[in-house]
Amino acid sequence: MKRSNVYFTVGPSQVFPSYKKHLLNAVEANIPSLSHRSDAFHTIFNDTVSSLREILTIPKDYHVFFLSSATEAMERIVQNCVSKKSYHYIDGAFSRLFQITAQAYGKQAAFMEVRPGLGFTNDYIRVPRGTELACVTQNETSTGVSLPPSFLGELKRRYPKTLVAVDVVSSVPGVKTNITDADCVFFSVQKGFGLPAGLAVLIVSPRAMEKAQYLEKKHEIVGGFHRFSNLSAYAQKGEVPETPNVLSIYLLGKIAEDMKRTGMQIIREQTKEKAQLLYSYFDTNKNYTLFVKDGMFRSNTTLVVEVAGGSEKLVKYLAGKGFIVGRGYKEHKNTHIRIANFPSHTLEDVKSLKTELDKASQYFY
């Protein structure tokens, strides 16, 4: 039988190596038939939350909620943390989506924007007066730009009164986020956790929760079933307001446990090592040009490469070898490739991908 493909796509991406084992165990144990109000589910909920707290270093007084997607998390955050003014650091399509979402809820969503391929240094840290929530994207999956590690801490230090929301969808868990530098941190599971789509996690600080309760008391619209106060009331019982994706919450817990066993420091070092391997190759090959010029902004989890003569042939060639890479985002569809480097991608797979990229380079150009 043909070896199955390895998905280097940026989301959904390659499932985590132990996914199959845990899925089969879940089916065997009949997890999908469990009631979401049963004690058995409470245990699953609490185990998953506690493993996430460990691997992501989430403080005890921060809340952990389950939502359906990262896009939903943006909506819930805007509704629960902003009465009038949000502020957005835009360096690509996903940070733009956050700003558009805030606008759609009638907020004054001011922003600072840089050209695609550029990012924000600490020199850009500036938040207009009256801003209730500053929104940043740790890793812009559309362009391969990541925030410098000190950005969040510096933002918090200079604007201690402003709430900070950070999208970590394509950086977690391979890149560390200091949870205490932010008030809302969110991700969906189909990227760095190597699970099927349909589940997201939202981490909420006590201050963000207070803000949500304050807005609710003032009768502002903070949402219905997924308003922060309701999510919190259910989470305290080990539940979610609606019927959640029980199977996915179970699998996320199992994969988080596996990651804990390996050790987050090791996973993060491997992430750097694999990224470095690809970056140093692309840096020396004239047919491949890194889209992000400034090394400081280069993402270790999403590599974006301009391909001489277009990306279509290359994408097809790699697919023929069993490596599925992402096309460029929107207008870059036919010129870029995007390569995900998540914990699911083994060093061996990355090395094989590099070998094929090199063969393609000699063969096509």
Ligand X SMILES: *Cc1c(COP(=O)(O)O)cnc(C)c1O
Helices (H), the chain: 19-28, 39-56, 70-81, 93-104, 151-158, 206-217, 228-235, 246-262, 264-284, 312-320, 347-364
* Cβ 231 to ligand X shortest distance, Å: 17
Residue number, 184 or 200, with CB nearest to ligand X: 200
Q: Which listed range, 41-49, 67-75, 111-119, 177-185, lies at the site for ligand X (CB under 6 A)?
A: 67-75
Distance (Å, whole) CA 312 – CA 218: 54
Q: Which listed range, 33-41, 66-74, 123-131, 345-353, lies at the site for ligand X (CB under 6 A)?
A: 66-74
| Full strand arrangement of the beta sheet holding 184-188 | 63-67, 200-204, 184-188, 163-167, 133-137, 85-90, 108-113
Measured over the CA atoms of residue 204, residue 264, residue 168 and residue 234, the dihedral's sign is negative
**Residue 3 burial by CB count (10 A; 0-12/13-18/19+): exposed, middle or buried?**
exposed
Residue number, 249 or 360, with CB nearest to ligand X: 249
Distance (Å, whole) CA 177 – CA 55: 11
Each residue 163-182 as x (binds ligand X by CB under 6 A) or -, in order, gives ----x-xx------------
201 binds ligand X (CB under 6 A): no
* Cβ 318 to ligand X shortest distance, Å: 21
Distance (Å, whole) CA 236 – CA 42: 10
Task: Count interface residues toward ligand X (CB under 6 A).
Answer: 12
69 binds ligand X (CB under 6 A): yes
Q: Which listed range, 1-9, 37-45, 69-77, 326-334, lies at the site for ligand X (CB under 6 A)?
A: 69-77
94 binds ligand X (CB under 6 A): yes
Distance (Å, whole) CA 336 – CA 339: 10
Residue 302 has phi, psi (to 5 degrees) of -140, 110
Taking a C-beta distance cutoff of 8 angstroms, is the pair 52, 58 a contact? yes
Among 64, 70, 212, 222, binds ligand X (CB under 6 A): 70
Distances (CA, A) of 190 to 69, 94, 245, 315: 10, 15, 14, 21
Name the residue type at position 364.
F
Residue number, 167 or 258, with CB nearest to ligand X: 167
Distance (Å, whole) CA 357 – CA 344: 20
Q: Which listed range, 13-21, 65-73, 261-269, 338-346, lies at the site for ligand X (CB under 6 A)?
A: 65-73
31 binds ligand X (CB under 6 A): no
Residue number, 144 or 253, with CB nearest to ligand X: 144
71 binds ligand X (CB under 6 A): yes
Residue number, 104 or 266, with CB nearest to ligand X: 104
Tokens describing residue 188: 């969906």
133 binds ligand X (CB under 6 A): no
Residue number, 200 or 318, with CB nearest to ligand X: 200
Residue number, 195 or 204, with CB nearest to ligand X: 195
101 binds ligand X (CB under 6 A): no
Residue number, 238 or 244, with CB nearest to ligand X: 244
Among 14, 141, 177, 299, binds ligand X (CB under 6 A): 141
Taking a C-beta distance cutoff of 8 angstroms, is the pair 283, 360 a contact? no
Residue number, 70 or 231, with CB nearest to ligand X: 70
**Residue 309 burial by CB count (10 A; 0-12/13-18/19+): exposed, middle or buried?**
exposed
Chain positions contacting ligand X, by CB under 6 A: 11, 69-71, 94, 137, 141, 167, 169-170, 188, 200
